Amino acid sequence: MTDVSYQQTAQTGEASLGDYFALMKPRVMQLVVFTALVGLLAAPIAVHPVVAFASILFVAIGAGASGALNMWWDADIDGVMNRTAKRPIPAGKVTPDEAKVLGFALSGMSVMMLALAANLLAAFLLAFTIFFYIVIYSMWLKRSTPQNIVIGGAAGAFPPVIGWVIATGSMAIEPWLMFALIFMWTPPHFWALALFMKADYHNAGVPMLTVTHGRTSTRKHILIYTVPLVILAVGTGFTSIGGPVYLATALVLNAMFLKGAYDIWRRDEAQAEADGYAVEKSFFKLSLWYLFLHFGAILAEALLPAAWGIWA
Amino acid sequence: MSIKAEHEIHQRRKGRNVGVGLMLAAFVVLILALTFVKITGGDFELPRVEETQ
């Protein structure tokens, strides 16, 4: 893209529909939709399919809106980091003002529509999640403390709670177990990414643990945070959302995850440089499967009794 | 260089307008379906006065 076309695009605001969609962080929306759906289906009260579909759609739109607001606020650092330099705003496809307007409009719309489709408590939780992600995480924590993703991870952990509340209209302990699973999973997941993204966060001035405490300390933190995660994930198998399928899945995945965290802790930078951060990259990849399969197992535990009822 | 009546920017604009139109139509259908489910699902049942008479 030439400078001339960049200016034309930026000034006339002639972005394509796909550019606006990219603002909404579709990959994050996938995770939100999946975990919210698991929360909804694991709840003890059945929801009409149309209500369930509409509610999950509005949760996804709310998540996408917060993604657009995050890109508006972080446009300056997104342009500096290799991983995010191609996002619509730093690439000059969408103006920051457009992202801001889209984000605020969709936030308001999604919260109001969720209140109408499901209930007020679910809508309040969605509004709080958007507020937490934008104000607490993006505006405050991200640029001020290495605990940014530890506390900010709560924003990504709310969707299963919202899903549960859509179905029941009230709170229970089970959705908070799902919340805790995502919350505890977030730090090791992002710290592994920070280890092999190398200078990205440093260049952008984001105080990730790798920047403020060094890489050796980050390796230790990954192992330290993985231990309570493993206890929580396996322990959930003995609650009402767990069961034999979940427990078997959790035992295998957590053994692998603990081994990965131990391997990361044992290595130093010279070893990691030598093999191109192979262990850190495979741990990051495993972390994606880890979360997906845990929630898949919770979903299986929720759906299998009904399926057995049909086969019997 | 000849002037083209249909510039690339027009195509992009058209694609965007069609996309927004389809999304609005889908939204209308969704609200219709949601309303139908809500009013037939017992959420808005009126008290049956005639049965008591």
A22 lies in the same domain as A165: yes
The H-or-E segment that residue A102 falls in is helix A96-117
**Beta carbons within 8 Å of A29's beta carbon, 6+ residues apart:** A60, A63, A64, A67
Would you say A231 and A177 are in contact if contact means Cβ atoms under 8 Å apart? no
A130 lies in the same domain as A202: no
A238 lies in the same domain as A128: no
In a domain, A238, yes or no: yes
In a domain, A90, yes or no: yes
Chain centroid, CA A230 distance in Å: 19
A42 lies in the same domain as A124: yes
A153 lies in the same domain as A186: no
In a domain, A300, yes or no: yes
Chain centroid, CA A236 distance in Å: 20
The pLDDT value recorded for residue A10 is 44
The pLDDT value recorded for residue A1 is 40
A62: helix, strand or coil:
helix
In a domain, A7, yes or no: no
Q: Of A24, A33, A79, A28, nearest to A56 (Cα)?
A: A33
List chain A residues with CB under 8 Å of B16: 15-17
Higher pLDDT, B48 or B35: B35
Check residue A101 and give left, alpha or beta (phi > 0: left; psi -120 to 50: alpha): alpha
The pLDDT tens digits for B18-47 are 999 999 999 999 999 999 999 998 666 666
Would you say A205 and A143 are in contact if contact means Cβ atoms under 8 Å apart? yes
* Subunit contact A15:B33, Cβ cutoff 8 A: no
The pLDDT value recorded for residue A8 is 40
> Is the confidence metric ipTM above 0.90 for this complex?
no
From A146, A170, A194, the end of a domain falls on: A170
Domain total for chain A? 2
The pLDDT value recorded for residue A309 is 60
In a domain, A9, yes or no: no
The pLDDT value recorded for residue B25 is 97
Give the alpha-carbon dihedral of A163, A165, A169, A171, to 10 degrees. Answer: 160
The H-or-E segment that residue A65 falls in is helix A49-73
List chain A residues with CB under 8 Å of B15: 16-17
Q: pTM of the predicted model, to two decimals?
A: 0.87
A37 lies in the same domain as A51: yes
A206 lies in the same domain as A106: no
A57 lies in the same domain as A143: yes
| CA A231 – CA A237 distance, rounded (Å) | 10
In a domain, A3, yes or no: no
And the tokens for A222?
């990954």
From A170, A189, A218, the end of a domain falls on: A170
The pLDDT value recorded for residue A312 is 47
In a domain, A145, yes or no: yes
In a domain, A10, yes or no: no
pLDDT by residue for chain A (312 residues), tens digit each?
444 444 444 445 578 899 999 999 999 999 999 999 999 999 999 999 999 999 999 999 999 999 999 999 999 999 888 888 899 999 999 999 999 999 999 999 999 999 999 999 999 999 999 999 999 999 998 888 888 888 888 999 999 999 999 999 999 999 999 999 999 999 999 999 988 886 777 788 788 888 888 888 999 999 999 999 999 999 999 999 999 999 999 999 999 999 999 999 999 888 888 888 899 999 999 999 999 999 999 999 999 876 666 554
List chain B residues with CB under 8 Å of A15: 12, 16
A166 lies in the same domain as A183: no
**Beta carbons within 8 Å of A200's beta carbon, 6+ residues apart:** A81, A82, A83
And the tokens for A58?
């509005």
A279 lies in the same domain as A212: yes
From A120, A145, A170, the end of a domain falls on: A170
A159 lies in the same domain as A204: no
List chain B residues with CB under 8 Å of A48: 37, 41
Give the alpha-carbon dihedral of A208, A214, A219, A224, to 10 degrees. Answer: -70
Domain with A137 in it: what CATH number?
1.10.357.140
Q: Best of B17, B18, B30, B31 to disrupt the A interface by mutation (most A CBs within 10 Å)?
A: B30
| CA A100 – CA A202 distance, rounded (Å) | 26
A304 lies in the same domain as A177: yes
Residue A282: domain span: 172-312
CB proximity B34 to A under 8 Å:
yes
